[in-house]
Structure 1
């Protein structure tokens, strides 16, 4: 039932975004009563949970606010300078929903959730350092490998430049690029057991997505901004900085299905380069058939990996915890031909904060 999917999405952001929680809770009730949300969401009644229709609804409404076309709502949205007043939020949302119902319906039907959270570059940076060092150790090298980074479900490609981001540590040092337009406070507990001061060298990078976002356009930037919960200003500011960085260091994301694209890129190997396949918070959106095909493509490439042209899989994906409706996000690494499997740590869905805790991954 669609109202239950809205309620489930609302529960998922209850602690981290009171504004989105209240909007989706009231929208779920409106769906049950046959209100305007039913018109906006018409045709989505059979959507599966993984398509998160509630977050698509919230993103479409936020976009109206960002475009200055929902003045009754703007006063509640910190992303445009407002201050939430939750008791009157839904009443102030109704004029926008009625005025733009057809447009909202079309946008929600044609849109998939695209957060492309740049905070995930922090665990990615640490994970790449571990992978480059461990691959070198397995090959008997003293210098960590250079990296070729391949991202599946790359969205707008904001996490394809981890070597151009600064990572500010509690002791005042900054790893990565201290002069970057994007400097993160990763809020790490512990550290990866490698030399983070070593310069991470990425010699190739590419990404694919079924629905890529072109962040060189205003439409693409608005799409990503609309999916940031409007009362999370730290994420909002982080995204704006990441978009500024992307403007001076562009990487085009190819529109393609993951398995075919991955097979094409893994068919080519480079000597003295570690190829890293990376994805983050994308697995829930991948069909079972594509999951199986992707595993087969990776297994074939892993069987052909050599000490001088190693292969790694690095993922940051959610797992349900023992607490109801709670998820924890795990950073996992597999390395071939070393046959090394590590659980590197866990953190929040947006990559910050993160706890480093290396142990075997079975």
Structure 2
């Protein structure tokens, strides 16, 4: 099972990360031959396919490089100033992993995948504008609702600042022009909203079972380790998001989603649109917590009013039928209460960029 999980993770890395693909495929080959990697990674499959043991392992190796403990392997890692040499990569990686095997195993076992991808703020920003303006239009309000943003699976909280991001669109900048995080969202089409309208977020909060603190060196290193080492555009986005976080600290609560959400949705404040948001975390949530989360959201939706509306805005994967060009599609979905509006706003890449709006 572990061999196939590593091979599946390796395939999912292409074409974006040949380095991660080569690392995971090489480990899978070693496992198939009962090689020394067996003692390093055995047991990682106990969390099931949804826990993505291959990505946790790759992040643990990347952490080894970024922390300066594998200088010879770092020569292959672009995030450490290196360049991949496929012919010599695996011997260097194998030696570094075995030399630090206890640390690699401990980190891969103890951590959960951190999907704090700042690129997902681009579709989120557009979706929030649609939600705030549509909720206002349906009740005859002349200005968009201010937003109370609640994120499940917030990791380091990097995606709780969509109003403090700059989007570069057709030679113009939308959002905060002074932001250190500037995104080219690679949009096809546009959201059905006025992007020049002020996006007011009056409250923001998040929870995670394993939150990372981006204002500590270890927190920054941990979040950085989950970026594929040869995806330098994503790496640059994350580093910019970390700089933004340093100017605007947000504490992410260590809590399970259902309990935290029940507390946050106990009251829906008037004249504010409460938005529950999550992105690419659903696969890591247990079936029990999913069901409980739906119940809590349904209870809150029943209490939503024209003056105190509620929205669910999510960016999650959907498995495609056999024969499709890609095994998964990532959809931005919106639901609004009490209006009952529900629909798919668009579809994009797993990291939020590029993205196609459906109008």
**Whole-Å separation in 2 of the counterparts to 1:63 and 1:165:** 27
Supply the distance in 1 between the matched residues of 2:43 and 2:84 (Cα, whole angstroms): 30
- 1:172-212 deviations in Å (ceiling 9; x for gaps): 11111011011111110000111100010000010000111
Aligned counterparts of 1:221 and 1:107: Cα–Cα separation in 2: 15
> How many residues align structurally?
357
Instruction: Give TM-score, length-normalised by structure 1.
Output: 0.97
Counterpart Cα distance in 2 of 1:246 and 1:100: 31
Please give the per-residue CA displacement for 1:103-137, whole angstroms capped at 9, x wherever unaligned: 11111110111030000000000000000001001
Q: What SS does structure 1 have at the residue aligned with 2:241?
A: helix
Aligned to 1:114: 114
Give how far 1:324 is off. Answer: 6.4
The correspondence of residues 131-280 of structure 1 with structure 2, limited to 5 A, is: 131-170=131-170, 172-280=171-279
Does 2:59 correspond to 1:51? no
Say which SS state the counterpart of residue 159 (structure 1) adopts: helix
Question: Which structure 2 residue ranges, 5 or more long, are not aligned?
Answer: none
**TM-score computed with the length of structure 2 as normaliser:** 0.98
Structure-1 separation of matches of 2:128 and 2:45: 41
Structural RMSD (CA): 1.0
> Unaligned stretches of 5+ in structure 1?
none
In structure 2, how many angstroms separate the alpha carbons of the residues matched to 1:333 and 1:205?
A: 18
Task: Give, in angstroms, the shift of residue 47 of structure 1.
Answer: 3.4
**Contact 1:12–1:325 (CA<8 Å) still a contact in 2?**
no
Alignment of 1:352 onto 2:353: yes
Counterpart Cα distance in 2 of 1:356 and 1:325? 19
- Quote the offset at 1:87 in angstroms: 2.3
1:296 lines up with 2:295 in the alignment: yes
Q: Is the 8 A contact 1:36 1:97 kept in 2?
A: no
1:68-116 Cα distance to aligned partner (Å, 9 max, x none): 1112211110001111111221111111111111111111110111030
